[in-house]
Amino acid sequence: MRRYLTAMGVVGRPRTRSFRAHLGGRFRRGPGGRWMPCEAWQVNTVDEIARLFRMRLLLGGAVPMWGWDTYRSGHGRMRGKLLGVVPVADGSGPEFDTSELVTWLNDAVLLAPGMLLDPRVRWEETGEDSFRVAVTDAGRTVSAEVLLGARDRPRDFRTEDRWADLPGGLVRATWSTPVLDWTTVDGLPRLGRACALWHLPDGSRLVYAELSLLDLALDDALDVDPGRTVR
């Protein structure tokens, strides 16, 4: 854990309270689905644990579909609209509350580890090159195992605290975000490319997102009104 925090440039720097990120890549909605180009923007905060994530997909390379993932005040929600008007997805409830809090934790580990220096976060060593990290918010605790690779930077993040939204309904499954590469910006490690995948109960794996970090600004989050981004 100390090696990770040192390698990520957290030691000796002020705690990170928020960040803005811009990502790009490709996404698919399920097994056998076509890959679609995508672009995403998000704001995360820690004083109030919150995550506002907006994604634009292009169906057939031309028709826009917007997706929103939010976590705020202890509640998570996932919504999708074709052309920004026609609803194609809308999920909320305890499973989404837990899943969206896990995603906040994943973002902190990979994008802004200074956000983990908070009394609501707990750490546990699990091996020479791994540790478990957990966060508690609104009476709910989620955790994940972080596996370290070269230069003590994360190479994977694995959790059992997420539900896959599959055609047959919600399924609790192992979720991981393998890191493909890291870059260095202003002397600090910065995530380059990563993917997101489900390890499904039948033994299959579903890689559904491949993303590159295009821009990251720490402690420069705007006061975003979720009512403007989730309607």
Q: Over the stretch 6-41, which tens digit does the pLDDT of each residue have?
A: 999 999 999 999 999 999 999 998 778 899 999 999
Asked whether the beta carbons of 137 and 71 are under 8 A apart, the reply is no
pTM of the model: 0.92
pLDDT at position 227 over 70: no
How far is Cα 21 from Cα 161, in angstroms, rounded to an integer? 24
User: Cα dist. 95→37, 78, 169, 206, 211 in Å?
Assistant: 27, 11, 12, 19, 24
Looking at the domain assignment, is residue 228 inside a domain?
A: no
Looking at the domain assignment, is residue 227 inside a domain?
A: no
Predicted pLDDT of residue 85: 61
pLDDT, the chain, mean: 91
Predicted pLDDT of residue 224: 46
pLDDT at position 145 over 50: yes
Q: What is the CATH number of the domain that holds 81?
A: 2.50.20.10
DSSP class of residue 183 equals E
| Cα dihedral 136→42→192→64 (10° resolution) | 130
* Domain count along the chain: 1
pLDDT at position 140 over 70: yes
Q: What is the residue range of 141's domain? A: 2-222
Looking at the domain assignment, is residue 231 inside a domain?
A: no
Q: Over the stretch 159-210, which tens digit does the pLDDT of each residue have?
A: 999 999 887 889 999 999 999 999 999 999 999 999 999 999 889 999 999 9
Q: Give the confidence band of 229 by pLDDT, cuts at 50, 70, 90.
A: very low
Looking at the domain assignment, is residue 71 inside a domain?
A: yes
What are the strands, taking DSSP E only, across 73-203? 75-82, 86-92, 121-127, 130-137, 140-148, 154-166, 169-176, 179-185, 188-199
Q: Over the stretch 71-85, which tens digit does the pLDDT of each residue have?
A: 999 999 998 888 776
Looking at the domain assignment, is residue 14 inside a domain?
A: yes
How far is Cα 197 from Cα 161, in angstroms, rounded to an integer? 14
Looking at the domain assignment, is residue 98 inside a domain?
A: yes
Of the CA atoms within 13 Å of residue 56, those in its CB half-sphere come to 12
